[in-house]
Structure 1
Amino acid sequence: MSDKSFDPNPPHRNFYGRRHGKTLRRSQKGYLSEDLGALRPRGITALENPGRAPVDPGAIFRDDRPLWLEIGFGGGEHMVHMAAAYPDIGMIGCEPFINGVAMLVGKIKAAGVENVSVHPGDARDMMDVLPDGVIAKAFLNYPDPWPKTRHHRRRFVTPEHLIPLHRVMAHGAEFRVATDIPSYVRQTLDEVPKAGFELVSLRADAWPDWVSTRYEQKALREGRTPTYMSFRRV
């Protein structure tokens, strides 16, 4: 990857999980070196913004459109689908797994969507520098389950992540969580309301504008039942 400013893991915090998987195909390497730079919001990484000064959200898409945030977009199916279905919003995705970033950029090019911005790093980087109340909707779809009890503190649904998320979301904004892990459901229902969100819906069927992802399909193949939760920022 030729973008020398890419720093997905600022030195002041722990990072859990993988950044690289299988060897990238030549086309995927091209997406990262030739296309990712134009999609990246500026002033997010510690190298670009060492003082962690607030960024201007209007500069991300050069207008004042509503901003939606996807936390860990996996292979990018949901992010591209939502960007295409809602062309008047700005879709921001954060994902430190570089193979997923390459897959997303390929999907963006194939779909021709232009209302997307991609941070190839931890969502906390983005939440560090966004002003208060600028995110109109946020998504956490099939996050890393960290199934062992001693690793539950690594999950996104902990105060370390939820309190900054609450800060950057607008009053009344929707936070959607999808998972197939029962203990993740329980932790979500326990921790998210404590951070200032109220439960709106708890369902076994997906939202009307949902698109099935590879992670949902894997869960169904392996006999696990997905749960879809919606919260409102209060």
Structure 2
Amino acid sequence: MIDDEAAPHDLELRSFGRRRGRKLSARQERLLAELAPRVRPDLAHPAPADVATLFGAPVQQVWLEIGFGGAEHLAWQARHHPHVGIIGCEPFEEGVVKALTLIEDEKLANILVHADDVRPLLRWLPAGSLDRAFVLFPDPWPKARHRKRRLVGTPLLDQLARAMKPGGELRLGTDIGDYARTMLAALMRHPQFRWTATRAADWRYRPEDWPQTRYEAKALREGRRCTYLRFVRV
């Protein structure tokens, strides 16, 4: 039975599948035990007014990547923008340890890792704290009965709109045509996001500062067309 007094977020459907895959190595276990707590936003305490202070290096902007997968895009952006702090969210343990390995090996002090659902993090962040957000190739939940679990929709966009600064950029990518259409429809209806595209090439091709992920590479190998959407928070 559903509690009528439950908060709306208590009723959120999980937008991801399993959390664990293969057995971790000894090093990966160590990274989870020792490094993960040091680079994790602590949602048990109130967020600082300036979230840039969460990072181990001075940063001028804060970006968010939702579902970073193998961390290729996350690490590329951190390397190429050392004065930007990036919070990466990924509930799948194998992806988390990949990010932790890159953080340790490359001494990337401008990455934080939230190893869980992004929605509690978005509620925790102060309003207007993010300069950019990425949702790249989220779980497509292709079966019709599962589509209600898709992450990108009006509830997530409302949370992103609150957490992002006016003028901030939201980037989304998918290789599933139906998901691209529903993403675009939700964003076009949302009063706080404006599509930047002026020609077909703008959603058919990635800009140079948008590196390929392994999921995108797999989609292209399998002959699926990818869609790249860029919106501005107004």
TM superposition score normalised by structure 2: 0.87
Runs of 4+ in 1 over 6 A off after TM superposition: none
Cα displacement (A) at 1:11: 6.1
Code of the residue aligned with 2:97 in structure 1: it is: A
Residue in 2 that maps onto 1:108: 103
1:176 equivalent among 168, 171, 176 = 171
Matched residue of 1:21: which SS? coil
Matched residue of 1:20: which SS? coil
Unaligned runs of 5+ residues in structure 1 are 1-9
- 1:189 matched to 2:164: no
Cα displacement (A) at 1:26: 2.0
- 1:134 matched to 2:133: no
Cα displacement (A) at 1:64: 6.2
Once the two structures are superposed, the pairs formed by residues 1-234 of structure 1 within 5 Å of their partners are 13-16=12-15, 17-42=17-42, 44=43, 48-49=44-45, 53-56=46-49, 57-61=51-55, 65-195=60-190, 196-201=192-197, 202-234=202-234
Unaligned runs of 5+ residues in structure 2 are 1-8
Q: How far apart are the structure 1 equivalents of 2:194 and 2:148?
A: 22
Code of the residue aligned with 1:159 in structure 2: it is: T
Residue in 1 that maps onto 2:6: none
Residues 110-168 of structure 1: CA deviation (Å, up to 9, x unaligned): 22211111111111111011111110000011110111122222112112211111100
Q: How far apart are the structure 1 equivalents of 2:19 and 2:209?
A: 29
Residues 142-196 of structure 1: CA deviation (Å, up to 9, x unaligned): 1101111222221121122111111000001100001111011101110023232
Code of the residue aligned with 2:36 in structure 1: it is: L
Instruction: Among all aligned residue pairs of Structure 1 and Structure 2, give the percentage whose two residues are the same amino acid.
Output: 39
Q: How far apart are the structure 2 equivalents of 1:59 and 1:118?
A: 15
With 78-87 and 157-166 compared, the bigger mean Cα shift is at 157-166
TM superposition score normalised by structure 1: 0.87
> How big is the alpha-carbon RMSD for the aligned residues of Structure 1 and Structure 2?
1.8
Residue in 1 that maps onto 2:3: none
Q: How far apart are the structure 2 equivalents of 1:68 and 1:58?
A: 10
Task: Evaluate the alpha carbon distance shift between residue 223 and residue 183 of structure 1 in structure 2; reply closer, same or farther with a 3 A threshold.
Answer: same
Q: How far apart are the structure 2 equivalents of 1:26 and 1:97?
A: 18
